[in-house]
Amino acid sequence: MVQRLVGEGRVRLADPDDDEVAEWRRVVDYAKRHGLEPPGRRIEKVRFGARGWEMYLTERPHPNSRSQRPKGGSSVVPAPTRLGALQPAVAALRDNEKQSSRDREEKARAEREVRWRAASICRST
């Protein structure tokens, strides 16, 4: 199927029955899952006419793919480069002395996790 797409450029199914559409979908999904698409290209399936399907190879990345991230080193969500003072509500929880020792242990673990996640975000940007 991929060889046919490479050779012909497009494959059109003018009026396929449901079984034929299901078989082509299985073939295309198998090719995508197992990396059988040519390098730098991907298989696109679109409706053609009232009941038809058209499949073709395109060089553009999928709109939802990770390669669509902004260029230039900027992240999608701005993250601070260093951890400064805690937000006032979080600082009030931290400074509350009326908590049990178990609450303090859970709070300390949660704070370590938040700091770890923030540090990993800073490393990845």
**Residue 40 belongs to what domain range?**
2-58
> What is the pairing mode between strands 10-13 and 52-58?
antiparallel
Q: Is the pTM of this model over 0.75?
A: no
Return the residue matching tokens 């058209």.
Answer: 54
Residue 69 inside a domain? The answer is: no
Query: How many percent of the chain have pLDDT more than 70?
Result: 74
In a domain, 25, yes or no: yes
One domain, residues 50 and 79: no
- Residue 45, in any domain of the structure: yes
36-57 pLDDT, tens digit each: 888 888 888 888 888 888 888 8
Least confident of 4-8, 22-26, 70-74, 90-94: 70-74
